[in-house]
Amino acid sequence: MPVWFAKSRAISHHLSRKVGFMGILHQKFWTSSCSRHPSSLSSIVIPAGIHEDHPTPHVFPLNSPITTRFSLRRFKSTKAASQLEQLYSTDDDDHDTSQALDFPGGKVTYIPEMRFLSESNGKRVPCYRVLDDNGEIIRGSDYEQLSEEFAVKIYSNMVSLQMMDTVFYEAQRQGRISFYLTSTGEEAINIASAAALSTDDIILPQYREPGILLWRGFTIQEFANQCFGNKDDYGKGRQMPIHYGSKKHNFVTVSSPIATQLPQAVGIAYSLKMDKKDSCVVTYTGDGGTSEGDFHAALNFAAVTEAPVVFICRNNGWAISTHISEQFRSDGIVVRGRAYGIRSIRVDGNDALAVYSAIHAAREMAISMQRPVLVEALSYRAGHHSTSDDSTKYRPVDEIDYWKKERNPVNRFRKWVERNGWWSEEKESELRSSIKKQLLQVIQVAEKTEKPPLKYLFSDVYDIPPPNLCEQEKQLRETIYAHPQDYPTDVPL
């Protein structure tokens, strides 16, 4: 509801400082504000149309009861304004801070020199790491301790994801499914981040995060059902393969448009904040997604509303065939957090222990401090972008092989687990044999399972289908009956 304040532009700053973004306008606030700024805050104008008895604008005193009827309700902001003031009001100790502009958002010190900000700090933001390439703990590392059972579970899930990708990719190449996309080289980001979260945390994925579902109990059979689009697929065969979703596991369905999930995640996180939930929202994107406007809108939205959301960017160097040097000139993604007032960290995405520790800390920060956090995970997409891509056309083969062999996140974590005496070659053989057997079995089951009936093409949008949709269904059925040889026979009519 629009509200116009007479005589004063300064009131927007005053409201922001007193009650946060959009504000909660209480009678007590009106009284105190009037006493402090009697000349600039004396009346409120209610525009025409707000009240049916007053067709033209009217001016009411601020202590009038009617002003309270139009209070803007919002979940109260925390101490963002004071934090901003503390952070920026004394940035330059070499100059007289008494000579400053009392600008909305905090005081800005004047300086006599013409000074442009550099395009960079000169040094790149360092990357948090715990395990070296040989799977040994780096001396002085700060990380979360893992039990034997938990560490083995993380490793087993990383292997399961790796093998599932291999088998499903081959199934696509055999023409058994229409499309597939792997997480090869990014298994640590998938599984370790999932392990650091609570099942109450809501996930908004991009499309390269099936490991989160795997960790939460989504079975390999359920993955196969979705890829084959059979009647047991929760999407009823209407989504393309790898567009997984599960309400049970708080995993919002994958959608192909890049970065659209990011502002949605902030809105969901804000609702958790309003309901005082002890959980957060975690959303993923790739480096290519940060070139979308939705990424910037989401970060600003999250910072201003202080939403408990963790943004995880998988910076794997390539947005399909576009190298990061052709996407941006900034030092990766991590530096963008500070520009929007968001705490950020850069982590080695091929180090499962570092990823787990960083996401564990980010989650705690998001919930306890009620604020967004940005995590940039440096990794490498060791596979093709998808089954529709041939990455050897734009990347050197030896570069791909190097990351597959020397920087493999699964192998690195295995070395650490083995060094602790928690794993052996015998256990490795048993695990891989069991997973392979299970994968071949679920594919056979999914492939033989009946397809969803034709009616599902037209359901679940309207409670009562409109006439034009009913006409479309009628025409489709008539066409199929007239030309049965041109349509699949395994789809029930």
**Residues noted as catalytic:** 170, 256, 385-386
Interior CA angle at 464 toward 458 and 470, to 5°?
45
441: left (phi over 0), alpha (psi -120 to 50) or beta: alpha
Chain mean position to CA 219 = 23
> Is residue 333 within 8 Å of 315, Cβ to Cβ?
yes
Label residue 320 left, alpha or beta by phi (over 0 means left) and psi (-120 to 50 means alpha): left
Contact status, residue 121 vs residue 128, Cβ threshold 8 Å: no
Q: Residue 156, CB half-sphere, CA atoms under 13 Å: how many? A: 17
Dihedral sign, Cα of residue 387, residue 388, residue 392, residue 395: negative
Radius of gyration of the chain (CA): 28
Helix intervals (H) in 328-453: 334-339, 352-368, 397-405, 409-419, 425-448
Burial class (CB in 10 A: 0-12, 13-18, 19+), 383: buried
Please say whether the beta carbons of 313 and 287 come within 8 A.
yes
At CA 368, angle to CA 198 and CA 131, rounded to 5? 60
Number of neighbouring beta carbons within 10 Å of residue 265:
28
Residue 244, C-beta contacts closer than 8 angstroms, at least 6 positions apart: 205, 210, 213, 218, 223, 226, 251, 253, 254
Q: Which of 235, 241, 301, 309 is nearest to 272 (CA)?
A: 309
